[in-house]
Structure formats: C-alpha cells, structure tokens
Chains A and B, each alone.
Chain A
Amino acid sequence: MSAYAPAGLERTEMARPKTIVEACRILAQAVRAKKTASLLAGGTDVIVDRHLMPVAKAHAIDLIVDVTGVEELVRISERDVGGERHLVFGGGVTYWQLRTDARVTGTIPMLDAMAKDVGAVQIQTRGTLAGNIATASPAADGVPALMALDGKVTLVKDGGARTVPLDQFFLAYRKTVLAPDELIAEIAVRVPKDGARVRWRKVGTRLAQAISKVALASVVEEEGGVITRARFGMASVAAVPHPLAGVRALVEGKSTKSLDRAAIDAAIDREIKPIDDVRSTGPYRLHVAKALVWRALAP
C-alpha cells in the first residue's frame, strides 16, 4: 500500500549484530530494559504475520534484532560426537543452503528433499532452520526432519549456553523452552548409518508453496533385518511437531518383516489426535499418518 512498516512496527528499531556474542548482548540489554525484542532472519513469519495482523492486535515491538549479518550462523560443519558423525548447522542456515551444499546433499539427501518441499525457491532462500524451530509451528517442515535425525539445538545467551534435544524443545502449541534472551546458535544432527532408510514425505495442499497436512521424516536403521534404531518427526498432527515415541518403542528391536501393522496403527491412535482445520480433516490426517509411518518402515 505504501512505504510503511506493518502496523505496530512503524517505530521499531533494528539492530544488526555481526557476531553471536553481540546478538546475545543486545538481547540481554533489551530484556534488562524490559523492552520487547524479536529476532528476525528470513522474515517469512515475522513480516507476514505482522503485515496481515489486524491493526487492533498489532502490539508494538521495540527492537528487532536482524541476525542475517551474523556469518557464524550460516556455517555448515561436521563434528564427531561420541564416535558418531554429525552435521552442524548454524541457526541461520537456509533451506536453499540445504539444497545446494554438497556436504548436505551428499550426506543426508533427505534434508535436500525436505528443503525442496519448503515453499518454493524464494522462501527457501530466506527461511532458516532456527526460524523454523523458534516459530514452533506444528506444520513446520524443517523441524520433523531435524527431529528424526536426533537434532539437538544449542541455545546461547549472554554468558551461557545449553543444549536441548529437539524433542524436548517444544512445550505446547507455539510454546518452547527458548528464553527471551536466548538465540538458537546451532543445530546438530546425527548422520544416519550407511544403508539406513532415511525418508521424507510431505502431504501438502499442493506440490509447492504448501503447508503440510501431514509430513513425516524418518530414519530406520537395521542390523541383520532387525530394526536397531527408529526415529520420526511428524508435522501437522499435534500441537507441536511430534516424535512418535510410542511407535519408535514398538518397532525398535523388531524385525522389519514381522512388524504388526495393527499394533503400530493403534500406537499412532494413542499418540496423535489430528484436528480439522481449513487445510484438512482429522480423520484424513490420521489415515495418512498411519500410511506414511508404514511406508517409512517398509524395506
């Protein structure tokens, strides 16, 4: 409409730190000064939400901390943790990086497949992993994929840091353990063993620019036909991205050939209660969730 910020953000200041330490200090100061502050990366949530928000609900934000200038946050590296190979993503790593970084596409093609399903190129170039995690949308695409890869997030603040497994990060609908003075510095994921079944399947409203109706990321490792490790991350079936721990408990230690589909379906019935909304229906979601889990387990 015109050269104006979205309502409630007309007078918001913007800080543009260059380092994580600087960003943390800015957040700490804001918290001490009782200012409302918000991190900004790709803007795929913050800018849209504020732009579409009714004026009456658009409370002011005092400070936006733009982290797109922090180079440490866009790094992708490798790390050995307890003898297991991990990829470590800075919080600002974009989906486009996942699609184009040879270490990622060569090591965990599932992340490439997932990233390709996020919006479309213009969203992939802006959207970040930390943004996807912090927003805590139950329909997030990145979170289930990272969850299935045993993702752990490192939260840092001025003078401190802690590491939280992703499946303990979300507390309730759009609520997380992230404190106002913390930021997501990195996400570490375990590289599945060679030969593992590492799969991604998103059922969205269309093939691009889609929010998922159900999505499932899965890692299934086997030794001698027996499932030694099963990890899941499912989107859009609960208030938070869901690890399907009940299914995992049921299938680990079992042989792939002797899996009991009825028992797995029953476990899914216990774990998730998907709802009706403008995108889909609860019964359809439940049906698809079961089908996707079964496909994930299939040889």
Chain B
Amino acid sequence: MTTNGTGSREKTVGTNVSRVDGRAKVTGKAAYVDDLATPGALFGATVRSDVARGTLRGIVKDPAFDWTGITVVTAADIPGDNVVALIEDDQPLLAKDAIRHVYEPVALVACADPVRLQKAVAAISLDVEKLPPVLSIEDAEAKTQIIHGTDNVQKRYVIEHELGGKTIDELIAACDVVLTGRYAVHHQEQMYIEPQGMIAHWEEEGGPTPGVHVTGSLQCPFYVHKAMKRAFGLEGDKVHIGQAVTGGGFGGKEEYPSIVAAHAALLSKVAGKPVRMIYGRKEDIEATTKRHPARVEITTGCTKTGELVALKIECAMDGGAYVTLTPVVLSRGILHAAGAYKWKHARVHGWAVATNTPPNGAFRGFGAPQTIWAIERHMDRLAEKLGREPLALRQQNVLGIGSVTVTGQTLTESVGVVECIEKATKASDYFVKRAHYNEPSPPHARTRRGIGAAVFMHGAGFTGSGERRLKGKVQVDLEQGGVLRVRSASTDIGQGTETIFRQIAADAAELPFDSIVVETPNTSNVPDSGPTVASRTVMVVGSIVGKAAKQVADRVRGTGAGDFAKLADALLAKEKTVSALVEYEPPLKIQFNDETYRGDAYPCYAWACDIAEVEVDLDTFETKVLGFWAAQDIGKAIHPLMCAGQVEGGTLQAIGWALYENVVWKDGHIMNPRMTNYVIPTSKDAPPFTTFLVEHPFSGGPSGAKGVGELPMDGGAPAIAAAVEQAIRAKCNDLPLLPEDLFRAVRAAREGARS
C-alpha cells in the first residue's frame, strides 16, 4: 500500500514522510489494549494497602459476600519468585508480610462482571499492624526509622574530578567568589492519556505457542519478559509479551507494566480464563511510578570575572519504597548535575533514600531534570552575585569541542550548544527583552513580564558501559516482493519509531520507503534490542536498523543486476530465509569506568538552549507563558516534524512540572489522584512554541542523529523559573511555582527587604 508518496528511492531521512500509523490513529482503528476484544475474559482488579508501613497479619474475605464466580489470589499463589525482577529483588509482586507503601498490591481479584468485581474488592479487608512511616528524604535521613539496609540509603555515587590531593572544600575556599545554594524539586506524574493495562491468557502445552501471552500498553517488552520468567518460573520461550498500540509512556510504561502483566497473568492462570487488567485513572495516578523528588545543594567557587573553577554537589533523591530503577535514575542525575559547563575541579555526591511512598521511577529525563534544575538555578544565583547577565555568564563557561566534563570525558564532536544559544536568543530577542523587563514597571501595573534562559545537555543512550553490556540486536528479514521486515524491540509509543525506522532502513538499503515494514514488537518475534528508553532508539537501535537493512539489501544485489524485487524473490526461492541479525557495538573510543565514574559517560550529548517569556499577574500570581523558544542540537533530525513534536511535547511537560503539576500528599496518600486536580496544561495554557532543530552530527548515529526524547524535559522548568523570578522580583529555588508558591516567595522577599 503506497499511501505516502514515497514509493520512490529518494532519500527520506530528513524529510517529513507521513507517519505510518497516522491513518489508523485518525480513523479510530488503532487498537489500544482496552480496545482489544477478549470474549470470555474476566476483569481483574487489585486490592491495595491503605497504610504506608506495617505488618500484614491477614487478608480477610467478608463471609457475608457471595464469592461465587470470583477468583482471589495472594502472594501464596505465585508459582515462581514473588519479586518484580529488575535490578534488585526487593519488591514483591504481592505483599506477603511487610507493607511498605500506601497502594501496595496485596491481593488480586477477577470476575466477569465489573460491578461485582468492585464490590468484591470492597469485601476484602487487610489486617495490618501499623508502623511509623518514613515519608520524606529528611525523614529517611533522620534514621529514626530504618526501612532499608542499615541507613535507608538505596544507592550512592561519587564523582571526583581533578581534586589533586585536596578536598573540594579547600579548592572552593581558595576561589574569589563562593556561593552556596539549595534547590528542590517535587514528584511528577507521567499522565499519559491512556492508563496502564494488560490482557493475559495461557495456552496449553501442545498448542502452537504454549505458555503465557500478555499484550498491553508498554515501552519495554523484554523487561516484562524478564519479570514474567521469574514470577512464573518459566523458560523464555514460554513467555510471549506483545505490545498493543500504546497511548503514551514518557517512562511511566518502562518498568511498571511488568507488575500489571504479572498480575493479569497470575489471575488468568488461577481462573483459567483470559484476564483484562486495565487501570482506571485514579488507580494509575495512585499506584504507578512518578518522577523522583530531589534536594540538591550546590557550592561553587569562581573568579571575579565569572570563570567557573570548583563545584561541589550533594544530591539526595527519594527512591520510594523499593529500589526499582532508582540507582540508574540517580546515576543519570549526578552525571548531568554539573550542567553544560566547564569546571576545573568537582565533586558530585548523590544518594537515594527509601521512603514509605510508592516507588519512584522512570520519567522522561530520568534524574537529569532534577539536577539540571538545580545547576541552572544556581547559575542564575551566581549571575546575580557577580552582577552579570545570566545567559552571558553561561556563554562564558559553556562546554565546547575539546572541553573536559566532570567525568574526565573530552568532547571531540557534535557540540552545537553555541549555535543553539544564538538561534534561541535571536528569535526571542532575549537580550533586549531581558534588559527591558529589568526596568522598573509603572507603580500600578498589575502584571509584569520576564524572560529567562536555560542551557543544558542530555547524554544520549545508556550511561557508561551500558550499551556494551546490553548488546542490543535488530533483525531484518527479506520478504516476497523485495520487502524488508525490521524486527526490533523498540516500541512506538507515539514518538514515531515505526516511521523513523522505515526511513533509516529505506535509505540504508537504498529502497523505497514503502518497501520497508516494521514488525510490532512481541518478544517471540523480535530480538532484544534493549529497552525503549534513554534517548537511545534512533541513535543506538536506529544505527543497527540501518546496518541490518543494508546487509540484506547487499545480499540481494550481490546475486545479480536488475529489479530488486525479482532478485529478492529468486533469492528467497533458493534460501527460504534471508535475514541479518546485527548487534550494536558502541564506538571503541568510548570508555567508562563504572566503579570510579571516570571516562566517557555517554557516547555523545544533545545540547540545547531554552528561552521562556512569561507574564505574571501581580495580584493572583498566575503565570502565563507568552512564548517559548527551544533550539536543540540533536545531531540530525531524521523526521524534522516529529522531532519538533518531541521538543514541544517534552517542553510542555517541563512547563507543567514547573507551573501546574503537584502531587499533594497526606500520610503517604495522594490527595489529588484525578485529572481534575492533578493539573496538566491544556491548549489554552500552552504557549506558542518556536522550535529550532540544530544539527551538529554525531559520527556514531544514523546520519549523525543523537537522542531527542529526553532533552526537551530538562530545560523548561529552569527557563520558566528564570523568567518568573524576573517578573515577580523574588527568588524561586524550589519547584513547583504554583501561584501559591509565588505568593509566599513574594511575601518572604518583602519581609526580607523590610527586616
């Protein structure tokens, strides 16, 4: 079917071919998990704890309730290990003895009638002996209650750079200008519009595909595969994990789907019927992962002329009740904590603590937005102290080709940050507006404007040796008519993977776009390409998609001259299967020591400058974002329209995090688990975006492409804060910047000025 006008062999990389899943999505035919019909299926639901910490003494089924036709399972029914296999094995699929957070799953219920199902869930009560909970980073650090290891610390990292036998405190003390600041960020809910969901069924031995089949909304089919093998004690070939069309993820469907899948499969196994486990919005907000809150203390030393010299960072993150992905989030956080700047000496120390709150997890940016918030606020504080224009101070110190990062990585290519700053400042008229908005406003003005900038970078691909260990693979098969089928585990969750892989494969194989098809990921028919995370899909997996496609095309063309399709059919007639399986090999020059945290933390970085212009109502402290300019160096835009969509969508999530979104907690419970009061921006709140895609190619990426997925999440909040601070003439060191927070900040600033 040629719908794209790309039946020609013209190169498609760099062009806006129409997205291949577009027609299905605009006609309502795209089938998300809740759209899949499952005749005879039961509905599944979860019984959860309503205390934050305690000892589970029993699970009580109301004897007065009619339990006919209702399946109830508990930890005792798990055939394999009662763990959510990920990094450590500390999180149970269903709590058995200990309750470690509100909303922790304890039992599962299935029933054919959804209303009876709800009633059955309500008829199960948990007998829990309460224990005093740990509900914040400070609680955990106080160590009054020990809930993890001996000190509540889940993970700790230290980066030391050019200390030369001195302590960082000594090096800072020797500087002309010393500044200390403390910055904090809060939880953030991913709020994909499609809630989590999985459908599971079991196929008996002797069938064509025996074992457990789970289909649903997910980012990483092989994460689910790994977790399911452990939970059910199954070999890999008995676990089949497939992706339904997925309505957004943003990291929220990285690790959590393993739990939904295992729960659905467990109910299905016991009930002997397919089970649909589809979360409602409230349950999704309450139970699933969120962005890690963090508290970052920064002390810096610099010269009088603003040259940065020494940096000390102490970063604490709240991992929540179980370790899950926290070590990796913390790692990425501290590796981005020094920002996009040159430091002669640095010590970055990060640790994550356990609390009795739902585990925090993957969310676009993955630790980096937290630490970039801190360093960007600190740069603004430093500019004030030095009496410098904040963006000029950044320009003076920004990393470039030949610069060395705090892990000792020398940047040798693909650093487009200067061009990003030039493009964004010029289009927004930043310097003129910044100076203008510093002028005193008329005494009765009820609004005031501000403009602010953030400069930042984001490492593309897995950290350090991650890709080397992971060995991601892609397979390309030749099919009748000269069609190439790309098999990878990289999921399309809206970002356009399917379209982009077709572009990359078509160009590499010198075939028309329409000669490429992309297999919908299922662990039984795609190789493990690694997870769909870490801004790695295009740069890492995309690069081997191209290689594999070229290998297959070369084999076909090696058989003779003439029409590709005819050659392909002739080859297939001879060989039955013609395919290429390619494994990713990171550039050899990229070396990182996971113990010392020295070396090349990432193969390359994407760079950016964001500028936000705001107007704040000085009575109500509502912030209106008037305009947003984002210039982002992503190496090469394979599909410029989709890249711009990534930049704008990610940026709006960052704006939301800063200005609207706030998880309200009380005793470990979430008080606003609804879309009506966990507030994400609407079309009226979102600013008009001006987006520049800057292309400083990376030699290891397809056509020079780096990652674009996470970068846009990093700069929005600090750029907004810088603009808001200018408008309200008060400091904002902590997120969020809700009107109530700005009201308090302005009051505090006034009282400070008076005393």
Contacts and interface: CB of A to CB of B under 8 A. Distances in A.
Contacts of A284: 621, 739-740, 743
Interface in A189-217: 203, 205-211, 213
Given A2-B114, A52-B282, A280-B740, A206 B684 contact: yes
A5 to B, nearest CB: 8
Contact of B122 (A54, A206, A210, A213): A54
B118 A209 contact: no
B677 A7 contact: no
A291 B619 contact: yes
A281 interface: yes
Given A206-B681, A209-B676, A55 B122 contact: yes
A279 B114 CA distance: 32
B278 interface: yes
Which range holds the interface residue count of chain B? 20 to 34
Given A2-B43, A55-B119, A203 B620 contact: yes
Interface in B711-755: 739-740, 743
Residue among A120, A278, A288 with the most chain B CB within 10 A?
A278
B671 interface: yes
A203 B623 CA distance: 11
B660 interface: yes
Interface in B442-482: 446
B194 interface: no
B619 A295 contact: yes
Given A52-B282, A288-B619, A207 B684 contact: yes
B115 A209 contact: no
Nearest to B684: A207
Contact of A209 (B671, B682, B739): B682
A56 B122 contact: yes
A287 interface: yes
B435 interface: no
Contacts of B681: 206
Nearest to B678: A278
Contact of A208 (B114, B119, B619, B683): B683
A100 to B, nearest CB: 19
Contacts of B419: none
Majority DSSP secondary structure for residues of A touching B = loop
Interface residues of A, number: 30
A223 interface: no
A109 B739 CA distance: 28
B6 interface: no
B519 interface: no
Interface string B657-685: 00010001000000110101101011111
Contact of A279 (B43, B620, B677): B677
A235 B696 CA distance: 53
Interface in A221-264: none
B622 interface: yes
A1 B114 contact: yes
A203 B622 contact: yes
B196 to A, nearest CB: 14
A295 B282 CA distance: 38
A7 B118 contact: yes
Nearest to A120: B682
Interface string A1-22: 1101001001000000000000
B685 A206 contact: yes
B114 A288 contact: no
B59 to A, nearest CB: 18
B650 to A, nearest CB: 19
Contacts of B118: 7, 55
A54 B672 CA distance: 16
Interface string B14-44: 0000000000000000000000000000010
A52 B684 CA distance: 27
Contacts of A120: 682
A208 B684 contact: yes
Interface string B266-297: 00000000000010101000000000000000
Contacts of A7: 115, 118-119
Contacts of A209: 676, 682
B751 to A, nearest CB: 14
A279 B282 CA distance: 17
A203 B122 CA distance: 38
A4 B115 contact: yes
Nearest to A276: B740
Contacts of A208: 682-685
Per CB-CB distance, the 10 closest pairs between chain A and chain B, nearest first, are: A291-B619, A207-B684, A55-B118, A208-B682, A278-B672, A284-B740, A1-B114, A205-B679, A208-B684, A2-B114
15 contacts: A1-B280, A2-B43, A4-B113, A4-B114, A54-B122, A203-B620, A208-B685, A209-B682, A213-B739, A284-B743, A287-B619, A288-B619, A291-B619, A292-B620, A295-B446
Interface of B: 43, 113-115, 118-119, 121-122, 278, 280, 282, 446, 619-622, 660, 664, 671-672, 674, 676-677, 679, 681-685, 739-740, 743
